[in-house]
Amino acid sequence: MTIKSDSPKLVDGMGRTIVNLRISVTDRCNFRCTYCMPADNVEFMDRSNLLSFEEILRVVTVASGLGINRIRLTGGEPLMRKDLPTLIKMINGVEGINDVALTTNAFFLKDQAQSLMDAGLKRLNVSLDALDPEKFRDVNRRDCLQAVLDGLDTARKVGFKSIKINAVAVRNFSENEIMGLIEYGRSDGFEVRFIEFMPLDSDKVWEREKVLFGHEIIDLIKEKYELVPVDNSLEIGPASEYTFADGKGKIGIITAVSNPFCDHCNRIRMTADGKLRTCLFSTDETNLKEMIRSGESDANIAETIRQAVLIKEPGHKINLDDFERPDRAMHAIGG
């Protein structure tokens, strides 16, 4: 069924305007985080199915014509994709795109920070769940905390102004790491954001009881610091932000499970094999790769994106009885 839409913009059936496209450039990763990937025997996409840079650019160009103005590159580990700065430069040249950001585990950041900066990357999110080397190894299944810290340090030195640290909040794991991460963020100028653990792990061990909830994190921090909520009414994002009353630093809490921000969601995603997903938890996808490779016109691709967005899911159903896990785990979707 085709729904009629006269809007040149991407507006969904609930009236939400979509301006944000997250693009996964690979499903491969050098880490094996417990909340995302299995420890071994991962089945990766065949490389021939990955969109080329030119194909990604085509989607970005069409999407920008529909009002998309923010792009985030992710994965898998996006810095494992060869020549990523070249893609960033290409996307930066697309009219209408005014923000290109990257989410990375930072293992390769020390070597790539300067070229990412030169390519015009504006914002960086780095995943870091623990500052204790053993706990880092337990959760990321790799013994390389120092490489991540070096990556962060280099990113700051080459001039990245907006660096956020993402920590997944897992019960009986994160509690003892929270204050250390906060002190690190305050002293080195990184905004630390805690993301409630979502049911997107390959191992399928997620249970509600394993989520450390946002309000519990706030309570923990408040034992030491007074927090001041930031008025984010003008900027739509998933995080509730707080500054410290002493004026030093900022934190964010993403209550993806306990208090989802679906009503304000302004994003869609594309997987590394060119499937458009209108929600992190979509169980349906739109195959843009097939359209591109079979020679469809820009107009048809644009209309297909518009139609997919029109029936964007009202929200995820994690908290409902009929919740269905998507087939893809986080690394294969693009977080």
Task: Give the one entry of ligand SF4, ligand SAM, none that residue 166 binds, where binding means its C-beta sits below a cut-off of 5 to 8 angstroms depending on kind.
Answer: ligand SAM
Q: Smaller CB distance to ligand SAM: residue 79 or 94?
A: 79
Residues 142-171, one symbol each (x = binds ligand SAM by CB under 6 A, - = not), give ------------------------x-x---
- Residue 315 CB partners (closer than 8 Å, separation 6+): 260, 262, 263, 265, 279
- Closer to ligand SAM by Cβ: residue 200 or 301: 200
Helix (H) or strand (E) holding 58: helix 53-65
Interface with ligand SAM, residue 252, by CB under 6 A: no
Closest separation in Å from C-beta 105 to ligand SF4: 4
How far apart are alpha carbons 188 and 249 in whole angstroms?
Answer: 9
- As a residue count, the chain comes to 335
The only residue of 80, 265, 280, 330 in contact with ligand SF4, by rule CB under 6 A: 330
Per residue, what are the HEC states of 4-31? CCCCCCCECCCCCECCEEEEECCCCCCC
Report residue 168 as tokens. Answer: 């997944």
Residue 74 in contact with ligand SAM, rule: CB under 6 A: yes
Interaction of residue 191 with ligand SF4, rule CB under 6 A: no
Tell me the closest approach of the beta carbon of residue 88 to ligand SAM, in angstroms: 15
- Report the distance separating Cα 295 and Cα 303, nearest Å: 15
Phi, psi for residue 193 in degrees, rounded to 5: -120, 130
- Listed ranges 14-22, 31-39, 81-89, 214-222: which one lies at the site for ligand SF4 (CB under 6 A): 31-39
Q: Tell me the three state secondary structure of residue 97.
A: coil
Query: Judged by CB under 6 A, does residue 37 bind ligand SF4?
Result: yes
36 touches ligand SF4 (CB under 6 A): yes
- The listed partner (ligand SF4, ligand SAM, none) that binds 37, CB under 5 to 8 Å by sort, is ligand SF4
Instruction: CB nearer to ligand SF4: give 16 or 275.
Output: 275
Residue 301 contacts residue 59 (beta carbons within 8 Å): yes
Does 77 engage in binding with ligand SF4 (CB under 6 A)?
A: yes
E-strand ranges in the chain read 20-24, 70-74, 99-104, 123-127, 162-169, 191-196, 227-229, 240-244, 250-254, 267-270, 275-277, 286-287
Which residues form the interface with ligand SF4 (CB under 6 A)?
Answer: 29, 31-33, 36-37, 75-77, 105, 127, 330-331
